[in-house]
Structure 1
């Protein structure tokens, strides 16, 4: 990951609602959640949620796909892992150390997401 990409991702996450949205989508796993489910879970108005989704998408942290009439949003784990790797690249003062754990999401049932 390039420094400019890291700054973009960190900037997108540097807001309460966007951080909540991203964390919820990470928890949801690769199946993602509909925009309505995200709005309901976080108590956000749909019009402001669209703005937050756009910022996260521009940073490459989430993706969207259409499923019938619904828009389904998913976390982009590869980009998240790249950001974590960038942030921890020199965690041991330049000495090689154990790599940061990578998130490899398992599919969850919607009933498991709180």
Structure 2
């Protein structure tokens, strides 16, 4: 990834509705969400959401696929991974022990309901 691509991605995410949309789509991987459902959950008009999704799509952060009469949007986890790798490429000047907190923070916090204590 080059700086220009990274700046395009950061610019796409530097707006509240787009950031919320991307994060919501990440939470709904791998199935994604229909455009209408995404608009409903974000409480934004369909045409406004369409413009935001277009920006995210041009940055390579979302993928769309038509299913019958709906368009399903999914987060591009590959693009997210590439962006995070770009940011951390020169992390800690080759001292991996300094990057341990960053790597721990990137671990998913997904737990099944069985693992949680009441």
TM-score normalised by length of structure 1 = 0.83
Gaps of 5+ in 2: 109-118
Query: Which deviations, in whole Å up to 9, do the C-alpha atoms of 1:30-87 show, x marking residues without a partner?
Result: 1100001101111010010000000000000001000000000000001000101111
Q: CA RMSD in A?
A: 1.7
**Distance of 2:39 and 2:61 partners within structure 1:** 18
Query: May I ask how many residue pairs the two structures share in their alignment?
Result: 102
**Distance of 2:107 and 2:4 partners within structure 1:** 21
Q: Say which structure, 1 or 2, has more relative contact order (CA 8 Å, 6+ apart).
A: 1
Whether 2:71 is the aligned partner of 1:71: answer yes
**Distance of 1:102 and 1:74 partners within structure 2:** 21
Higher helix share: 2
Gaps of 5+ in 1: 104-114
TM-score normalised by length of structure 2 = 0.80
Provide runs of 4+ in structure 1 moved above 3 Å: 98-103
Structure index of larger Rg: 2
